[in-house]
Amino acid sequence: MKDFNGKTILVTGASGGIGGATVRKLAERGANVVAAGRVEAGLDKIATDTGARILPFDLTSEDSVASAIGDLDLWGVVNCGGYGGEIASPQDTDIAVFDKVIAINARGALLVTKYAARTMIRLGQGGSIVNVSSQASLVALNGHISYGASKAALDNITRVSALELGQYGIRVNSVNPTVVMTEMSAFYWGRPEIGEPFLEQMPLHKWATEDDIAGPIVFLLSDEAAMISGVSLPIDGGYTAR
């Protein structure tokens, strides 16, 4: 199925698990994918595997974002670049880490949206933006003060962007995944005393895979979701339905 018909879609965080799975699914469905990340070397494999174009830039720098994507003719964006930060309570959090998490997860996604939306409006062909948020924005999770706050901000960026950009035919949505048991997340969620009680509370009782998240991202980008905008879609095995 080649339903994206060469539409150009930017995926940030493309060297990561969810970002890489999204690039692969989009390429399979005929998109012209621009795979973005902070370091070019980390993008080489996904580019080789899919034919995606590599575009390194720094999400924390407005100049870097503007220079990289300001002149791209984009139809779609997946804001998947992110930073986990620390596991800490409000009273123990390192504010420097908090600032970095916000700078990448919320401010970085807004910067990409700012410059991508300008070119999407200029082209006049509508489009779709999907922000990769988290279940941590929907419910309180121990130790997630910085990460949860950054993703809650991202969900609001999603809603306001959907409101502002709808007049141009641009849809904006978020996906809010549960834990994907990657190497990055295993250091915390892989601990039996933490992971097992969490899974007991989840109706489906299993961790998500990268493809479990990439599939709904691609759906929200596609014309099959033509009347969906401004939503935060939990992909969490029913955890937030409790």
Per-residue pLDDT 10s for the chain (242 aa) are 578 999 999 999 999 999 999 999 999 999 999 999 999 999 999 999 999 999 999 999 999 999 999 999 999 999 999 999 999 999 999 999 999 999 999 999 999 999 999 999 999 999 999 999 999 999 999 999 999 999 999 999 999 999 999 999 999 999 999 999 877 788 899 999 999 999 999 999 999 999 999 999 999 999 999 999 999 999 999 999 98
Per the domain annotation, does 192 fall within a domain?
A: no
How confident is the model at residue 52, as a pLDDT? 98
Per the domain annotation, does 151 fall within a domain?
A: yes
147 has catalytic annotation: yes
Per the domain annotation, does 205 fall within a domain?
A: no
Per the domain annotation, does 200 fall within a domain?
A: no
Phi, psi of 55 (to 5 degrees): -145, 95
The number of distinct structural domains making up the chain is 1
CATH number at residue 148: 3.40.50.720
Per the domain annotation, does 241 fall within a domain?
A: no
Matching residue, tokens 């990460």: 147
How confident is the model at residue 223, as a pLDDT? 96
Per the domain annotation, does 119 fall within a domain?
A: yes
How confident is the model at residue 207, as a pLDDT? 96
Per the domain annotation, does 201 fall within a domain?
A: no
pTM over 0.95: yes
Per the domain annotation, does 239 fall within a domain?
A: no
Exactly one of 115, 147, 168, 239 is catalytic; which is it? Answer: 147
Which domain does 123 fall in, by range? 8-182+210-234
